[in-house]
Every structure is written in C-alpha cells, then in structure tokens.
Structure 1
C-alpha cells in the first residue's frame, strides 16, 4: 500500500495582509490629504508661515490620534460581533449538533459537492474542529480576516503620522511665495507613490490604483484651497 506524507502548506496569500494593509493605506492617505489640504487652505488665505506650520503640526497630532481612536473603536465593534456570533454558534452546536451538521452539509452541496460527499466532508471537518468549520464556512470568519483592533489602530496612527510628515516637511523647506504650489504638487506625487505601493503590496493594478488615489486627494486639496482663497481665513 502506498503511503502518503502530508506537509503543511507554506504558501502565503495577500489576504493575510488585509487587516494592517487597509488601515495603513487609509492612514497614510488621510495623513497626506488632510495635512496638505489644511496647508493649502491656510496658505491660500494668506496666513503667516508660522500659522501654517502650527496648523500642519496640529493637524498631524490630532489626525493621528483620531485615526487610532476611530480604527480601534470600529474594529473592536467588529471583533465583538464576531465573538458574539461564535458564542451563539458554540451554543447551537452543543444544543443540536445534528442540525448543525445538516446545515454545514447543505452549505457544501450549495457550493457544488455531491450530497454524499458533502455529508462526508461535513462529518470529518466537524470531528476535527466543529466550531472552526462553522465559523469559516457558515459565518465567513477566518484567522486571516478576523478583526484585530489594536493592530488596526497602531497601523492607522503610525501611517497617518508618516503621511502627514511629508506636507509638514514641505512647509518647513519650500519657499514661502510658492508654498501653495509646492504643497499641492508634492502631495499629488506622494499620493501617486502611495497608490503604487499599495497596489504592489496588494497585487492590484498599479496605474488604476495610483490614479484613483491621486485624483481624489488632489481634488480635496484644490477644493480646500479654493475655500481658503474665497473666505480669506484659516479653514
């Protein structure tokens, strides 16, 4: 009889990065757009260089803290929902395992397995890890995609600070008379770079990602600068 040796599958997929990647891209994108837009708005309103620098620094600190708090709260809510669903599933398995077995079998039949094979697969998976099988195939909860509040909060805060530091550096180094142009152009370039990096990490089309991020970020800066110029005040 032929014997088989099974080894753990070591291939890594991009979905494993989705938790921190989403938070990091969102944070960096917001950091660049928010800070650059603030700078564009106050620069268009003819504010002093000191006021522009103060606004940029305040925007960096406030934005990073806001991103961290917002991500933590929202992702923690998702984690609480997942825990509640898993607890209810655990109770249902304890109360009526046969019904849960039939439910899992029906899921596999719906996905294309023959009823007999679906029943066999459900039996084996539930014998190995009943709650894990239902979490994955009934609830759609997996280890790679599960909510991680602290990870999301830290990634968002750090990436926002890094993104916001770029326009802040422009304010410190660019000539005062052309600060608005330097801010918008440099931020647009940074957004294009961010879109490219996100596409490479996530395995998505580079040009489409870069254009999307750059377009909406530049639009935000132009609108904010327009408001600043219109009202002649710090926005």
Structure 2
C-alpha cells in the first residue's frame, strides 16, 4: 500500500493542469462492473438455488444438471434482454427529455433562463457572478440543454452500450452460474458430496464477488464479501427449505 506521502505526490501529479486537461478531454467510459457483478451474483444464486431446491426435494443428480443448465441459459438470456431493454429505455427517456428542453428554450427562453438562474442561485451564486453564469450557459444552446438535463432531470450524456451491457451480463451469468454445477458433472461422487462441493464453490464465488466489489468501489472488502455471501446463502437456504417442505408435503 502506498504511504500518505506517496499518495499525496501521486495526486499532485494527476492534478497538474496539463493532466487535468487531458483527462477531461477524454469521454468518460461506462463501467462494466455493475453488469458483471449483477450477472455473476444472479447466475450463481440461480444455479445454486436449483441445486439446493432439488437436493432438498430428493431429486437425482441428473435432474439437477438438466434443470441447472436449462435455467442457466434461459435465465441468462432473459436477464440479458432485460438489461438491454433497460439501457434502451433510459436512452429513449434522455432523448425525449432533450427534445422537451429544446422546445421549451425555443418557446419560452426567458422562463428557461430563469430556471438556470434559480438552479445556480440554489448553489450559492449571487449578483454579478450569478448573472455571468446564466449568460454563459444560455449563450450556448447545447450547453444550455445539457445543463437543464443534468440539473433538472439528473441525466448524464454518458450511457452504456445496450448490446455490450446485455452481452457481459449474459457471459457473467453463464460462466459463474456453471461453477456450482461442476461437482454434479463428475462421476464417482455421492449426492451428498456433490451438494457439499457445490455449496463450497458457491460460497467461494460469493465471497470473491464481494471482495472484487470492495476493491473496485474502494469500500470495506470483508464487509462487502460478507454481505454478498449472506445474500447468496440466504437465497440458497430459502430454496432448500422450499424443496424440503414440498418433498414432505407431496412425498416425492
């Protein structure tokens, strides 16, 4: 870990005028972490929940494999499509809001200027400074619209690629979701050994995902790992209980 002195020196270097200018000129890139984490957690939970439910119900290993892989592909595709549609809907809303603001500026420019004035007055600007900001923003139509979208709607001009979001969600869902099924793909293990192996692998996956989230988001790693482990473990325990109760109720 870098010392405070080294970290301070690094920050000073990053905040030199030329480095700031270079950084601001680069368009911000949408983060893929949320897509990967969402797909990985849901994939592992979905598969391990099937494992727990089938084991609790007393189903044979072949049923676990068939149900697990079928649900993995189907649910992964469904989740990818949902993510694609969600990103697309957000982009459509952004474009609709942009058209609305452009129309308002065209029809009632003074009213829109007043909105800009009140927005920056709420930030603490007064007098000549406030009027200078209002005149600067409203002199550039694109800046004017972008400012209204950000301040009034809370919208950003940067969107993830809908196809890429769907693709990475699907890949993370399937790849990570396969891990709890791997013990059932090996012959020579008893069903109890398969279940225990699946549980251990799922636990490792949940902890690993939590640690990655903690590192990337710069939050407490152990707390993040523990929360993710509880989330996955809770869903699996619920599935096991449902399977066991149904087995007892219907004498599977």
Same fold? TM cut 0.5: yes
1:168-196 Cα distance to aligned partner (Å, 9 max, x none): 22322483332222222221221111011
2:194 alignment counterpart: 179
1:141 alignment counterpart: 155
Are 1:21 and 2:33 matched, yes or no?
yes
Are 1:108 and 2:120 matched, yes or no?
yes
Contact 2:45 2:236 in 1 (8 A): yes
Per the TM alignment, residue 30 of structure 1 is displaced from its structure 2 partner at its CA by 0.3
Deviates more, 1:217-226 or 1:77-86: 77-86
1:193-232 Cα distance to aligned partner (Å, 9 max, x none): 1011122122222122111111011011112112222223
Q: 1:55 to 1:82 in 2, by over 3 A?
A: same
Query: How many equivalent residue pairs?
Result: 226
Deviates more, 1:160-169 or 1:70-79: 70-79
Following TM superposition, where does structure 1 have runs of at least 4 consecutive aligned residues deviating by more than 4 angstroms? 15-18
Cα distance between partner residues in 1 of 2:236 and 2:118: 52
Q: Which runs of 5+ in 1 are unaligned?
A: none
Q: Which runs of 5+ in 2 are unaligned?
A: 1-16
Contact 2:150 2:156 in 1 (8 A): yes
Q: What RMSD, in angstroms, separates the aligned Cα atoms of the two structures?
A: 2.5
Cα distance between partner residues in 2 of 1:168 and 1:16: 35
1:210 alignment counterpart: 225
1:193 alignment counterpart: 208
Which has the higher relative contact order, 1 or 2, with Cα contacts under 8 A spaced 6 or more apart?
A: 1
2:146 alignment counterpart: 132
Deviates more, 1:25-34 or 1:206-215: 206-215
1:52-84 Cα distance to aligned partner (Å, 9 max, x none): 111111121011111011112223222222221
Are 1:231 and 2:243 matched, yes or no?
no
Question: Any residues of structure 2 matched to 1:41-56 within 5 Å, and which?
Answer: 41-56=53-68
Contact 1:109 1:115 in 2 (8 A): no
